[in-house]
């Protein structure tokens, strides 16, 4: 089954990292990603820009209201997610533990995926 692993962390902590510290975390995470890829368990994953770059469309009103910033003001922010292909929750938790060891602090929320639409676009390079 597919699980989404939602990555929550205090973005101020991430912003306080130097470029070298950021690269070191990404390097450690990269090793976990490689292992998952080899086992064919890693689906799409992405890292988001800070919530200061976010815009929210509130649908409760008509017309919807556009506001600056993230949907929820929280101590820890949604900074990215993974989709992983696992047998059960235990296996998803195992992956989350490996990721946590590579990047401590914050929380991973594990959510089973109901509907999955693979990227229909032709393959092309990402932002970075």
# binding residues, another protein (CB under 8 A): 28
Of residues 39, 52, 109, 112, which one binds another protein by CB under 8 A? 52
**Least separation in angstroms between CB 67 and another protein:** 8
Of residues 38, 55, 119, 120, which one binds another protein by CB under 8 A? 55
Q: Quickly tell me which residue has 């999955």 as its tokens.
A: 116
DSSP assignment letter at 70: -
Window 67-96: residues binding another protein (CB under 8 A)? 67-69, 75
What lies within 8 Å, CB to CB, of 43 at 6+ separation is: 2, 82, 83, 84, 85, 116
Of residues 104, 118, 120, 122, which one binds another protein by CB under 8 A? 104
Task: Based on the shown chain and the rule CB under 8 A, indicate whether residue 128 belongs to the binding site for another protein.
Answer: yes
Helix (H, G, I), strand (E, B) or coil at 38: helix
Task: Based on the shown chain and the rule CB under 8 A, indicate whether residue 12 belongs to the binding site for another protein.
Answer: yes
Q: Which is nearer to another protein, 9 or 41 (CB)?
A: 9
Distance, in Å, from the CA atom of 9 to the CA atom of 78, rounded to the nearest integer, reads: 7
Distance, in Å, from the CA atom of 4 to the CA atom of 21, rounded to the nearest integer, reads: 26
Task: Based on the shown chain and the rule CB under 8 A, indicate whether residue 102 belongs to the binding site for another protein.
Answer: no
């Amino acid at each position: 089954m597919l699980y989404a692993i939602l990555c929550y962390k205090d973005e101020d902590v991430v912003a306080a990292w130097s470029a070298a510290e950021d690269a070191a975390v990404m390097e450690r995470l990269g090793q976990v990603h490689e292992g998952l890829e080899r086992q064919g368990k890693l689906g799409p994953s992405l890292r988001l820009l800070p919530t200061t770059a976010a815009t929210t469309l509130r649908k409760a009103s008509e017309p919807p209201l556009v506001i600056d910033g993230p949907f929820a003001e929280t101590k820890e922010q949604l900074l990215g997610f993974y989709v992983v292909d696992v047998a059960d929750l235990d296996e998803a938790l195992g992956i989350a533990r490996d990721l946590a060891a590579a990047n401590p602090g914050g929380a991973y929320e594990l959510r089973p995926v109901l509907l999955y639409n693979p990227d229909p676009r032709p393959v092309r390079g990402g932002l970075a």
